[in-house]
Amino acid sequence: MPTIRERWSSRSSFVFAAIGSAIGLGNVWRFPYITYQNGGGAFLIPYFVALITAGIPLMILEYYVGQETQRAPPTALKKIWKKSEWIGWFSVCLVFLLSTYYSTIMSWCVNYFYQSFTLGWGSTPEAINNFFNNTLLGKSGSPGILGGIQMPVLIGLAITWISIYLCLFRGVKILGKIVYFTVCIPWLLLIIMVIRGLSLPGAIEGLNFYLTPDFSVLLKPQAWLAAYGQIFYTLSLAMGTLIIYASYQPKDSDITANAFITSLANCGTAFLAGFAVFSTLGYLAQSMGVSVPEVTKSGLGLAFVTYPTAINLLPVASRFFGAFFFLLLLTLGIDSAFSEVEPVVGSIVDKWGLKKKWVLPLVCIFGFLVGILYSTRGGFYWVDLADHFICNYGITLVGLLECIVIGYVFGARKARSCINEVSDVRIGPWWDVFIKFITPIVLGVSFIMQLIKLIQNGYGNYPIWTIFTGMGFIVLLLILSVILSRRKGVSDE
Amino acid sequence: MNRSAIVMLIFGSLILYGGLAYFIFQAAKSRHLANKKKKRIF
């Protein structure tokens, strides 16, 4: 007997869930830095071009696949083209691994949130650096030396996985209500952080570094590739999340406007986050008597070293704003974290007809167990390596294959007419061009360039065996995906 | 803030927040029309 598919309680629940999935930690610590590094305000031009020519078309495509098939990624792609089920499994395997290290980064945020009440990370930049690298992570110096488990990280990891389980276990109806909080609270916190940042001395100097355009970068291919890369990862594309979320929508729901709202809300949040980050960096630079570029960092360094340094220097309520910042990261990250688990659970449930109430805890426990690797003293390096290989090679490959399947095998024109049938805002033939040519070419070029760079220079200062392990793992996941796609499921019987 | 930074601030805000407002308005309008249709049927 066919089971009734779960449904979002309203259109806004779905849109909020998709926005929550897209808005993550990268909006705060990646976008502002990439903008600054690639010509400041001028970067907005390639960024918007990438959004229109790749981000939104691919998001429309994923919404269409999920909504039309009413299935999780593997079975959805199988319905589109029988031979493409493995692509869905490949994306599911990748997103599961992504969730295991993403939850570890969340665990670091949990620890910092706890420390923010006492400013326990130290008072000088050196002390904060020491707190992050030695006290919290206990870095071993090499990925080959795992060392012991760092208990605070492991406890934070357990808290993160329990939170993921609690958000998902009551199904999408309750999830639809949770996302209102996990999306609106970070927006509110971000606005407070922006106001606070702008009121600090030196803030304007920071914003000048963020937005002053250098139009010469428009002639550099690196800036364009950075824009396409940023758009691709920030919108949670090719991870299976958007397909599974859209599969809980009724078949006649609007697609195009939802895709535009989701992507613009995500990019708008990243743009706003830049004001919070650069106004604070401007203040930090002025307080330390150095220039803004000297304190500007990206990623983990920005969140876990630079920002706490700035928080320490705040004239009033530094503990309060410290807690605010890490609560912002936690609320930003949690909806991305559970959106990475949902495609895994949904795919298993859809393929083998198992009960979600059994699959979800097993996936969470397994995710936690894998996360123990990242909680070791060598874990930091494995987080970095996993992120590099999964995002730059795995997910890019999935995006490329999705475009080929829909654009050439299924037919972009056919898909477009189905999308226009249910959408208020109609899309024209430009969508076919983007799906068939622009997006696959950009993803293909990006994939090849990353591969050439890896072969020529390796990655970071890591030993060569870690490169083989990373690439070997991607190949292993490909083989596993093919095996999973060949297993009989309930839909084959 | 220097003038070119302000121009980019306005440019970015117009596209991102203006675009968002437009599509939210479209979604709200279609919902309003759908509700009207339902009322006519029943």
Concatenating the DSSP letter of every residue in A285-349 gives: HHHHTS-HHHH---HHHIIIIIHHHHHHH-SS-HHHHHHHHHHHHHHHHHHHHHHHHHHHHHHHH
Looking at beta carbons, which residues of chain B come within 8 Å of A204? 1
A403-424 tens-digit pLDDT: 999 999 999 999 999 999 999 8
How far is it, in rounded angstroms, from Cα A426 to Cα A250?
19
Interface predicted TM-score of the whole assembly (ipTM), two decimals: 0.88
CB nearest to A257's CB, from B2, B8, B27? B27
**Per residue in A181-214, pLDDT tens?**
999 999 999 999 899 889 889 899 999 988 989 8
B35 interfaces chain A, CB cutoff of 8 Å: no
Instruction: Please judge whether B26 and A257 are an interchain contact, meaning their C-beta atoms are less than 8 angstroms apart.
Output: yes
Residue with tokens 């302000």: B6
The model's pLDDT over A315-346, given as tens digits with 9 standing for 90+, comes to: 778 888 889 889 999 999 999 999 999 999 99
Residue A260 to residue B30, Cβ atoms within 8 A: no
Secondary element (H or E) of residue A482: helix A464-486
Enter the pTM of the model: 0.93
* Four-CA torsion A47, A16, A327, A271, nearest 10 degrees: 20
B1, B12, B26: residue with CB nearest A44: B12
Computed over every residue of chain A, the mean pLDDT equals 91
B15 contacts on A by Cβ (under 8 Å): 44, 48
Q: Where are the alpha helices (DSSP H) in A353-378?
A: 356-374
CA distances from A274 to A56, A235, A277, B37 (A): 22, 17, 5, 43
In which region does residue A458 sit, left (phi positive, over 0), alpha (psi from -120 to 50) or beta (all else)? left
| Of the candidates A270, A245, A254, A327, the residue with the CA atom closest to the CA atom of residue A17 | A245
Residues of A with Cβ-Cβ distance to B26 under 8 angstroms: 257, 424-425
Q: How far apart are alpha carbons A363 and A339 in whole angstroms?
A: 13
- Domain spans, chain A: 11-377
- How far lies A476's CA from each of A472, A480, A483, in Å? 6, 6, 11
**Topology annotation, domain A11-377:** Hydantoin permease (1.10.4160)
φ, ψ at A146 (rounded to 5°): -75, -35
Interface of A with B (CB under 8 A): 11, 40-42, 44, 48, 204, 207-208, 210-213, 254, 257-258, 260-261, 264-265, 267-268, 271, 424-425
Its domain, for residue B35, covers 1-42
Domain count, chain B: 1
Per-residue pLDDT at B41: 46
Residue A212's alpha-carbon distances to A186, A366, A446, A488, in angstroms, are: 27, 47, 27, 57
